[in-house]
A and B are shown apart, each in its own frame.
Chain A
């Protein structure tokens, strides 16, 4: 008999017309790893919550969830508590909100042991320390006493996994356990889950939107869409021959890096539209008593050609967003100059002329907070016209708005909607329309597709590429997602702790990375192909604190190729065949694929 048997499960809410989960049936065998994949709103998290008995009281549930011999639906909290932690445990997406911020890590874990009477109080401390060690928290004695905010995101997720495994459960439910983490840390956490499972016979129910994660970590998978089951079966079979049309579409839409780029070639001999010359960004460090400054971006130079797409890639804390905001004048650059077609720009956007402001526009990460919630779509898109062409007649203005909405793929029925009445993809199109209506020559996209589902992501990327082909727009694409970079950029700049590691053309970077960090990031991306082995964790450790940067090359503490010199001197950017790289060993290492 299966460990977990979900039969005909339906979940609905009184105030939502459609059921969020509709007649879902599946089972998980002991020791099996099952992935539930779907885009947002597919009902995958609701299913996980139902299994754990964590749905809100107003959820209307029918069907059956049997764990071993116990029916979970309708079970009393007392019965559920006998199973939770000891037999079935959960890891949440965001470890910061899942851990109690006021309780030390060790005490939180100890409470689980005591609450569920897993061991005697006297043994609890030792068991917690052993678990912290097992999930890879270095110096467990010290980590026992820290508060959640003192740990990095990856460390918190390790602690969370440790908490879930304390009772040695038969089934571990993990809801998007790596979505909030950087790609190199994601690879570490997935590696940890694989290791832990190989040591025990714990079954895994992994909920994710990322087909790459499922391909590398689950034997079985379940595709969900709109609350329904699309397809279920062994992961290899589904990837090899999806029987459902929608599944096939989701698999083909999932971004991958092992395909050549499809960008249009650039004309030669043109002068740059935007020139960034030794620009740096630093912030005053308020919390520390010493008046040290936080150096978000170290002096950096970059030229952007008309019609070119430059991707700026880095993990959190790399300074990529600070750089974008400094270019746009939202924050002042600490040093250096920014010039637009040869003219030096004032540091802050307020002191730039309207004509210059018009030329540099931005699309933000979160489409919902970047639109004013009290304005209608037509007002949002029309606002720039009122500023740059105040004399334009109303009828003409309305026509422009309609044309622009159509241009970004929205119907004019949406004109009177408010931002909260739009889907994520629609809202991002409105944000793009607002930026494009003034005809800018440079558009900076700060993680513009990070918050969107796979299929919508690729639609938005196509829209931007089409716009570029039409109008010769230059794009600066800031992202942590290398598969997006692969798809759209001409050149790529890799940032690490505010310093450039490598600048190279798209194909060059993905096929022959020169910097060990680039290589590590590339190998960390989960490949949506179950036949690609993903056993090795390419990069250990996490980004060092930007307040106390390591001496020498900022990457050396994590670099497996580091030599003595790397911890003493800072490598300069040196020209290579197609760009430049900052690594002492660039010439001697062969990192190509």
Chain B
């Protein structure tokens, strides 16, 4: 299928790019540890142990990251945080990808009044203050894990739609689209078969850059206490908890914050690397 065809050269070139290989492997490693780690560790994320609270790293019985104020193992909690954060980010980005690509490609290809109408709707949504929007959601519905996806996705797809529309505008002027019209391909056929596969490069790059954005938003919401609810946790919530004990037990802040920073940096570098690979001018 043509989508695969569009990814293949990107994958091939990615293998020669040191940044992509390094960041990609590190992310896979982090994800693997986050999945396997909790199974190996003798502790679980919710188990409290008040006798062993505020243990420093490597103190006590198998607590490589120490324990928090309730004596919960920070290592397992950080891994859970990583898992939840990555999960939220990837799902939210995928949602925004789906809506954004479809919306942007249709608006861009149809053009004229349809395009104007669809993009003004995007502008209107953009004008909503995000935090106000989230708080509103939280008030109307209840606090809920799913709501975080909705909130993040609802913001991210707007930008994706704009980028995809811009790309589509330039693609639809290319002559292969005229050629497709002449041989009788229908409008949905052109969008599906000829426009979207050629958007792929840009979209992949953009997605790796929206993931850290989604992570940040999720952390921000959790930091404000609007995110994931205890005993579930995310990196943002862990950092939030850590701030309280910053003076007495700095590792409670530093360790999850480091994990968050490493993941963010990896995604950012990955996006930069992919952008180089996809940019045809860099390969000339």
Chain A positions within 8 Å of B, measured between CB atoms, are 325, 328, 330, 349-350, 354, 357-358, 360-362, 364-366, 369-376, 379, 383-384, 387-388, 418, 431, 434, 438
Q: In the complex, A434 Cα to B200 Cα: how many Å?
A: 24
- Tell me the dominant secondary structure on chain A's binding face: mixed
Q: In the complex, A442 Cα to B206 Cα: how many Å?
A: 43
Name the contact of B183 in the complex, choosing from A357, A373, A375 (C-beta under 8 A). A357
Chain B residues in 8 Å Cβ range of A357: 182-184
A374 touches B184 (CB 8 A): no
A362 touches B179 (CB 8 A): yes
Chain A residues in 8 Å Cβ range of B184: 354, 357-358, 384, 387-388
B205 to chain A, nearest CB (A): 16
Residue among A330, A374, A388 with most chain B CB within 10 A = A374
A372 touches B194 (CB 8 A): yes
Task: Name the residue on A nearest B200 (C-beta).
Answer: A374
Chain A residues in 8 Å Cβ range of B175: 364-366, 369-370
Chain A residues in 8 Å Cβ range of B181: 330, 349-350
A384 touches B183 (CB 8 A): yes
The reply on B166 being an interface residue by CB < 8 A is no
Task: Name the residue on B nearest A418 (C-beta).
Answer: B5
B183 touches A330 (CB 8 A): no
- 10 additional A-B residue pairs with CB within 8 Å, beyond A349-B181, A357-B182: A330-B181, A350-B181, A369-B175, A372-B2, A372-B180, A374-B2, A374-B198, A375-B5, A383-B193, A434-B179
Q: In the complex, A324 Cα to B12 Cα: how many Å?
A: 40
Q: In the complex, A522 Cα to B187 Cα: how many Å?
A: 43
Q: In the complex, A357 Cα to B180 Cα: how many Å?
A: 11
Chain B residues in 8 Å Cβ range of A354: 184
A374 touches B197 (CB 8 A): yes
Q: In the complex, A481 Cα to B226 Cα: how many Å?
A: 69
Chain B residues in 8 Å Cβ range of A349: 181-182
> With A350-B187, A374-B6 in contact, is A360–B182 under 8 Å at CB?
yes
The reply on B113 being an interface residue by CB < 8 A is no
B2 touches A369 (CB 8 A): no
Name the contact of B5 in the complex, choosing from A364, A374, A438 (C-beta under 8 A). A374
Q: In the complex, A532 Cα to B175 Cα: how many Å?
A: 40
The reply on B185 being an interface residue by CB < 8 A is yes
Sample 7 A-B pairs with CB under 8 A, ordered by A number: A325-B178, A357-B182, A361-B183, A370-B175, A375-B2, A383-B185, A418-B9
The reply on B58 being an interface residue by CB < 8 A is no
Interface residues of B in 191-208 (CB under 8 A from A): 193-194, 197-198, 200
Chain B residues in 8 Å Cβ range of A370: 174-176, 178-179
A376 touches B176 (CB 8 A): no
Chain A residues in 8 Å Cβ range of B9: 418
B185 touches A328 (CB 8 A): no
Chain A residues in 8 Å Cβ range of B185: 383, 387
Chain B residues in 8 Å Cβ range of A373: 176, 198
Chain A residues in 8 Å Cβ range of B179: 362, 364, 370-371, 431, 434
- Tell me the dominant secondary structure on chain B's binding face: helix
Chain B residues in 8 Å Cβ range of A438: 183
B176 touches A372 (CB 8 A): yes
B5 touches A361 (CB 8 A): no
Chain A residues in 8 Å Cβ range of B182: 328, 330, 349, 357, 360-362
A184 to chain B, nearest CB (A): 27
Task: Name the residue on B nearest A375 (C-beta).
Answer: B2
Q: In the complex, A330 Cα to B180 Cα: how many Å?
A: 11
Interface string of B208-223 (1 = CB under 8 A from A): 0000000000000000
Q: In the complex, A359 Cα to B178 Cα: how many Å?
A: 15
Task: Name the residue on B nearest A437 (C-beta).
Answer: B183
A372 touches B178 (CB 8 A): no
Q: In the complex, A418 Cα to B280 Cα: how many Å?
A: 15
> With A364-B175, A364-B178 in contact, is A434–B183 under 8 Å at CB?
yes
Q: In the complex, A365 Cα to B198 Cα: how many Å?
A: 21
> With A374-B2, A374-B6 in contact, is A362–B178 under 8 Å at CB?
yes
B238 to chain A, nearest CB (A): 43
Interface string of B14-29 (1 = CB under 8 A from A): 0000000000000000
Chain B residues in 8 Å Cβ range of A358: 183-184
A412 to chain B, nearest CB (A): 19
B199 to chain A, nearest CB (A): 10
Interface string of B159-183 (1 = CB under 8 A from A): 0000000000000001110111111
Chain A residues in 8 Å Cβ range of B194: 372
Chain A residues in 8 Å Cβ range of B200: 374
A519 to chain B, nearest CB (A): 33
Chain B residues in 8 Å Cβ range of A379: 2
Task: Name the residue on A nearest B173 (C-beta).
Answer: A369
Task: Name the residue on B nearest A419 (C-beta).
Answer: B176
A237 to chain B, nearest CB (A): 39
> With A369-B175, A418-B5 in contact, is A387–B198 under 8 Å at CB?
no
Task: Name the residue on B nearest A355 (C-beta).
Answer: B184
B193 to chain A, nearest CB (A): 8
Chain B residues in 8 Å Cβ range of A418: 5, 9
Q: In the complex, A431 Cα to B179 Cα: how many Å?
A: 9
A578 to chain B, nearest CB (A): 32
Task: Name the residue on A nearest B6 (C-beta).
Answer: A374
Name the contact of A371 in the complex, choosing from B5, B176, B187, B197 (C-beta under 8 A). B176
Q: In the complex, A376 Cα to B181 Cα: how many Å?
A: 18
A330 touches B178 (CB 8 A): yes
Q: In the complex, A362 Cα to B177 Cα: how many Å?
A: 12
Q: In the complex, A371 Cα to B179 Cα: how many Å?
A: 8
Q: In the complex, A342 Cα to B5 Cα: how many Å?
A: 44
Q: In the complex, A431 Cα to B180 Cα: how many Å?
A: 11
6 A-B pairs with least C-beta separation: A370-B175, A374-B197, A384-B183, A364-B175, A372-B176, A374-B6
